[in-house]
Structure 1
Amino acid sequence: MKTKLNLYFLLSMMNLWFISCSKPDEFYKDLLANSDRNYPGKLQNIVPSNGYYRFKLNYIIPPNNSAAKIVLAGVTDTIIFDIPNEKSGLKDSLYVDKLKETSYRFSIYTLNKKGESSIKQNILFKIYGDRYKSSLSTLNVKSKFTAVGSSDLRLIFFPDNANILVTSMFQYTDVNNQVVDYKIMNPKDTVFLINYKTGSDIHMINGFIPNKGSIDTIFTQKKLLKLP
């Protein structure tokens, strides 16, 4: 009996030590030792996305209506968003616009209805704008090829390794003298223009983003392609 009591005492102490030393569940509340104050959970799965003079933030709101507001605290400005009760525990997003073309660093945290703060997290955005837009140029043709007996034109372009090409739009005349508007999403360096009328003009517009996940595509001016 004494052995069983000692074992029970030992297991109880180990459990008490585990509870005391374990980190609190940060998803829906953060507890202070010897305190009856419950703090709101922090936002989870935060995904920041840069944009054209704006940014987007995706996240999961902590459950149980523990958080009432989202706070973005920057160096000079603080932005506060209300959290509707019906969105508690769900995925959501927010946008901030009218920004400058520069980098922004924010501390992001939630507040409960008492104004108590969650754990703070840091996020960084690099906003792009007209300066980035002016650096873009329409891709140049590296080579062209038409197979014998075919009217399809194959164009190979010099890539733009500094940016991500997300779309290309072509306008050309086909063998039936019809103007063709051809749009390609996520194009490669090689493009085929079907039934191209030999010698006719080809115009192109390219759409770029600076980074994977950027939310706004920036388009170049329409350009008359010079074929080699």
Structure 2
Amino acid sequence: MKQHKIIIYSLFILAAFVMSACSKMDDYKKKYEPNGPIIYPGKLDSVQIFSGRSRVLLTGLFTSDPKIVKYRVYWNSKQDSIETAVTRTGGVDTAKLYIPNLPEGVMSFEIRTYDNEGHISIPVTVAGNVYGDLYQSSLINRGIAKAELQTDGSALINWADVNADDGVLYMQIKYTDAVNKQHDTVITSVATALSTSLPKFKAGGTISYRTAFKPNKTAIDTFYTDYQEHSVKADVTSIYLSNAGPFQRDLFDGRWGTLAAPWVTNAAAKNKDNGTIGGYSSDGGGTINWETWNNTPVVNGIVYQATSAPLPAGNYIVSFDAYSEVQSNSSVYCVAAAGGNGIPVLANLSTALGSINMFNGANVGGTSPNSREVKTFTFTLSSPQVVSIGFLGNIVGNGNPGSYFTVFNIKLYKN
């Protein structure tokens, strides 16, 4: 009986303690929740930030709480914000908000939702990159490894390889075809081994192109380099030169002769048949040739032709296929000079647009075809003009054998 009374007394003490605790909790709620318990609206779910140029795109999902009426996005340490109204449909709704005029760099954003009674959700924080002038300044046009006109009239562009993560999307190319039609085409980027064929390309023309980039795969804006001109190497020999090899003769004695028009041969180049012919040989089916056997030197001998029309401004390559054997004090130059009145003599060679000494004062081989070599030089025109292209020889003859050279063809490329 005594133990039963002790249990009843203990239960009474516990009940008093609980009632006291509840009273204190009620006092706390009255003090800190004068309007009742705190209510948090549903937060925005699945929030993502998509990078852009001086802006971002924020997306998210409203999956619960139909009482949400708006949301607010804060950034810049909550000094800036945007508020957007929400109309719930009863299902899952999507938030989509562009935030403009942002500084370049990593930005942190805080999103809170609001219901129709003014309650505020717990924050959702997310970060994203903003791109701008700094990123733009780092971009360079995709390189071109080679650009050449093909025999079928197309231009083949071989692009330099890039890293797959460089962000290159495509190259936009503008060019003119052989019938002067303008083209503007887009080439989707492939990181390696990419080639592009531009049909019916206008010989001697150029392409203008730019490269499109995205800073990351999900970025909402595309960045572009400036347009850049690039030459397409083209064999324009048939357009501006004729009788370019095998060479045709004019006067002829059975082996030696004089080049047919439009080649011009000066008197110093005629070292055969008592100075009546020279500069041409029937060797190899028709070649430009000087030979100094039997002490017949050539001093400032010149054969040249002027281009049939002004060459457009740009870069050019002169190429010729030759073999030779000369004495150490002999020289033969291939020369390009401005105007249609010929090429300069040796003393004035510095006035030429460009030239190359075929032999550099050295004995460079014999008559074997294995000693044939293609030699080139370049010149640049800042404005359209007629150009004279030809050969200047100063070849000594010291008995038999003397010196000689043979040119099988000459070509002109616009580069």
Contact 2:144–2:157 at 8 Å: present in 1 too? no
Partner Cα distance (2:64, 2:85) in 1: 11
Please point out which of 205, 223, 226 is paired with 2:228: 223
Change in 2 beyond 3 A, CA 1:150/1:168? same
Q: 1:79 aligns with which of 75, 78, 81?
A: 81
Alpha-carbon distance between aligned partners in 2 of 1:63 and 1:83, rounded to the nearest angstrom? 16
| Deviation of 1:167 (Å) | 3.0
The offset of 1:176, in angstroms, is 2.5
Distance in 2 between residues matched to 1:87 and 1:72, nearest whole Å? 21
- Kept in 1: contact 2:42–2:65 (CA 8 A): no
Structure 1 position 150, deviation (Å)? 6.0
After TM superposition, give the deviation of residue 135 of structure 1 in Å. 1.1
Is the CA contact (8 Å cut-off) linking 2:155 and 2:197 kept in structure 1?
yes
- Kept after mapping to 2: 8 A contact 1:173/1:180: yes
Cα distance in 2 for residues equivalent to 1:157 and 1:87: 52
What is aligned with 2:136?
Answer: 133
Cα distance change of structure 1 residues 101 and 147 upon mapping to structure 2, 3 Å threshold: same
Matches within 5 A, 1:1-228: 38-74=39-75, 75-86=77-88, 89-144=92-147, 149=152, 151-159=154-162, 163-184=166-187, 186-189=188-191, 190=194, 191-226=196-231
Contact 1:207 1:220 in 2 (8 A): yes
* 2:67 alignment partner AA: S
Give the number of equivalent residue pairs: 193
Question: Which whole-Å deviations, capped at 9, do the CAs of 1:95-125 have from their partners, x for residues lacking one?
Answer: 1101111211122231222332334322112
- Pairwise CA distance, 1:84: 2.9
TM-score, length-scaled by structure 2: 0.42
* 2:149 and 2:232 in contact (8 A); partners too: no
Mean alpha-carbon deviation: is it higher for 75-84 or for 125-134?
75-84
Unmatched tracts of structure 1, length 5 or more: 1-34
Tell me if structure 1 keeps the 8 A contact 2:50–2:57: yes
Between 136-145 and 124-133, the greater mean CA deviation after superposition: 136-145
Residue deviations 1:28-47 (CA, integer Å, cap 9, x gap): xxxxxxx9765322222322
1:190-219 deviation line (CA, Å, top 9, x unaligned):
233233234310110111111111111111
Q: Is the 8 A contact 2:114 2:121 kept in 1?
A: yes
**Over aligned residue pairs, what C-alpha RMSD do you find?**
2.7
Counterpart Cα distance in 2 of 1:165 and 1:196 = 25
Secondary structure of the equivalent of 2:112?
strand
CA distance in 2, matches of 1:38, 1:95: 29
Letter of the 1:71 counterpart:
R
Distance (Å, rounded) in 1 between the aligned partners of 2:226 and 2:155: 25
| Conserved? CA contact 2:48–2:60, under 8 Å | yes
CA displacement 1:116-162 (0-9 Å, x = unmatched) = 23343221121111111111111111234666546252422332556
The 1-side partners of 2:111 and 2:81 are apart by 10
Bigger drift between 117-126 and 210-219 goes to: 117-126
- TM-aligned CA deviation for residue 65 of structure 1: 2.4
Larger Rg belongs to: 2
Retained in 1: the 8 A contact 2:147–2:155?
no
Relative distance call for 1:199 and 1:126 in structure 2 (3 A) is same
Alpha-carbon separation, structure 1, partners of 2:180 and 2:80:
58
Matched AA of 1:66: K
Deviation at 1:178, TM superposition (A): 1.6
- Percent identity reads 24
Structure 1 length as normaliser, TM-score? 0.72
SS in 2 for 1:92: strand
> Distance in 1 between the 2:110 and 2:78 partners?
12
